[in-house]
Amino acid sequence: MTTKARATVQHEDERVRVTRWDFEPGTGTGRHVHAYDYVVVPVTDGRISVRTPGGEVSESELRAGESYARPAGAEHEVVNAGAGRLAFVEIELKESRG
């Protein structure tokens, strides 16, 4: 089991939840499923390892300010695979406007 990263909810209302994640090297989010579409905004550069329940592992480089988005339903654990501290802000979209 991976040591947990620190999650700090910065804002939450009926439409969005904004959480800052701070990772020491080797710490992770714990396995989870995303209930909502979400956007990740890296605060620092870093390297993550994404682990799925099926045992697949993929690594990605994050660059501060270079955001990415994913749909709801993803099940995984995100681990800081780098040697330094890592931080990103996760914005979950609870309500979609159409």
Q: What residue segments make up the domains of the chain, in order of their start?
A: 6-93
Residues 57 and 65: their CA atoms lie apart, in Å, by 24
Nearest to 37 by CA among 12, 74, 9, 89: 74
Residue ranges for the chain with pLDDT beneath 50: none
pLDDT at residue 30, as a whole number: 95
- For the domain with range 6-93, which CATH number is right: 3.40.50.300, 2.60.120.10, 3.90.550.10, 3.30.360.10? 2.60.120.10
Give the torsion sign (CA, 88, 5, 86, 55): negative
Strands (E), 13-56: 16-23, 32-33, 37-42, 46-51
pLDDT at residue 65, as a whole number: 98
pTM of the model: 0.92
In the DSSP assignment, the letter for residue 42 is: E
